[in-house]
Structure 1
Amino acid sequence: MSYAIIGFGEIGQALAKAFARSGIEVSVATTRDPESFASAAAAIGPGIIPKTLAQAVKADIVFLAVRYESHRDVAKALPTWKGKIIIDVTNAYGVSPEELGGQPSSKVVAQAFTGARLVRGFNHLAAAVLDQDPAVHGGRRVVFLASDDDGAAAEIAALAENLGFSPIRLGGLSEGGLLVQARGNSWGQLIFKDLVKFD
């Protein structure tokens, strides 16, 4: 299984650190030349591989850690995303419900990535919290996952555990997924909730 993070801002770098802590190799890409962020990637760890967008999207599982407004530009990188899982880490805060056609933002993102299996996840924590080791006070930091594809959600839950997190599945994008979606100028009820699960 190969992994990529598209977007290398604060959230993208926090995700890369989770991969580095777990010793799992991951490609990182932006729309910029990989050399422009190679030193930042190297500072995180040797398994963080800077690539072009065209190279990175060949991965099986792709974290979409760009601004919501940029998701369509990334989607154009491939004619079809069949066989891939996209993890939607975007937040459409400030985007009107009308602009989203009354749908959760993840449904709009899913439509752009033709053929992909989409999981909403890793988006509810602020970058500064996501950046930290998820092993806290003898427990594990929670990440919420929502998807209309149970198989994809199960795969990403397993990955979240491998990265040291405790995944909690919220069901479909239009049900539990709304708890981790921004609507207009309001945040979903679970956004920014920093929870720890004790086994």
Structure 2
Amino acid sequence: MKLGVIGTGPIGTSLARTFSAGGHEVQVANSRGPETVDALVLEFGARAVTAQDAVRDKDVIILSVPFVRIPDLAILFASVPAETVVIDTSNYFPQLGGPVDAVEGGQVESLWAAEQLGRPVVKAWNAALAGTLQTRGVPAGSPGRIALPVAADTDDARHLGMHLVDESGFDPYDAGMLADSWRQQPMTPAYCTELTLEELQPALAAADRSQAPQDRDRQMSRFAALTTMPTLDEAVELNRSLHR
């Protein structure tokens, strides 16, 4: 499969490495140019290219850029064929990128992203910490395998997203339409809490749309108050503790 990855932060880097190691043809781009892409990203055969090349003739394009940067990519996607699947991994944190009025007013994050790009998106890998993606993917059927939700407005796009989530080492869960993807936004019970497939469905069902932004802001304050960087296990436990 031909994959383009836009963004070389921790999530983009992890996915580029995973899929190139798995035999996919992966091209990677960032906002600073191909010469700035770290060798770690390219270790298993991914190629650093311009953003224009990263979206050209691809089966799937993975967006791993800050949420507020998504509108900047609309021109880039204007010539991308409708059949190309675009997967958005981003999350909205107003403390990091500033407020987005539509989302503050209640619009679902992934619907806002699709609106900015002028095309449908799949929402996947947003509900996992970078450390989870980097270190805790395991083969299908492994006991305790972590599950991740995948939402999209067409069955074909959702199933392709689920296939890639499975390839990346996690059990995919069909989370339905984009309009329901608020259930996997920060800081809902399914967000970055490392749940199994059996645990994920009730966590998604338990999400409270009005409470989630308050929990997100409260959790950001808790993390900001820490004097040392939490370990992955500590970060997951902090997220789980919001819902007890």
Question: How high is the TM-score relative to the length of structure 1?
Answer: 0.85
Structure with the bigger percentage of helix: 2
The DSSP-based 3-state class of the residue aligned with 1:77 is helix
Specify the alignment match of 1:37 in structure 2: 37
The DSSP-based 3-state class of the residue aligned with 1:171 is coil
CA contact (8 A) 1:65 1:90 kept: yes
Specify the alignment match of 1:123 in structure 2: 126
The DSSP-based 3-state class of the residue aligned with 1:54 is helix
- Does residue 1:56 correspond to 2:59, yes or no? no
The letter for the 2-side match of 1:121 is A
Structure with the bigger percentage of strand: 1
CA contact (8 A) 1:118 1:149 kept: no
Specify the alignment match of 1:14 in structure 2: 14
How far apart are residue 35 of structure 1 and its match?
Answer: 1.1
Specify the alignment match of 1:147 in structure 2: 152
Superposed CA RMSD: 2.1
CA distance, structure 2, for counterparts of residue 140 and residue 16 of structure 1 = 21
CA distance, structure 1, for counterparts of residue 23 and residue 151 of structure 2 = 26
How far apart are residue 165 of structure 1 and its match?
Answer: 2.2
- Does residue 1:108 correspond to 2:112, yes or no? yes
- Greater alpha carbon shift after TM alignment, 157-166 vs 2-11: 157-166
Q: Deviations over 1:77-121 (max 9, x none)?
A: 13244222111101012265743252101001111222x331101
The letter for the 2-side match of 1:52 is T
CA contact (8 A) 1:80 1:113 kept: no
CA contact (8 A) 1:17 1:131 kept: no
CA distance, structure 2, for counterparts of residue 39 and residue 70 of structure 1 = 24
Determine what percentage of the aligned residue pairs are the same residue.
27
Specify the alignment match of 1:180 in structure 2: 184
Structure 2: 5+ residue runs without aligned partners?
Answer: 199-244
Higher relative contact order (Cα pairs below 8 Å, separated by 6+ residues): 1
Q: Deviations over 1:12-67 (max 9, x none)?
A: 1111222144232311111111011152323x312x11110000011221111000
Question: How high is the TM-score relative to the length of structure 2?
Answer: 0.71
CA distance, structure 2, for counterparts of residue 96 and residue 78 of structure 1 = 24
The letter for the 2-side match of 1:109 is A
CA distance, structure 1, for counterparts of residue 183 and residue 23 of structure 2 = 31
CA distance, structure 2, for counterparts of residue 102 and residue 134 of structure 1 = 33
How far apart are residue 133 of structure 1 and its match?
Answer: 4.5
CA distance, structure 1, for counterparts of residue 151 and residue 121 of structure 2 = 9
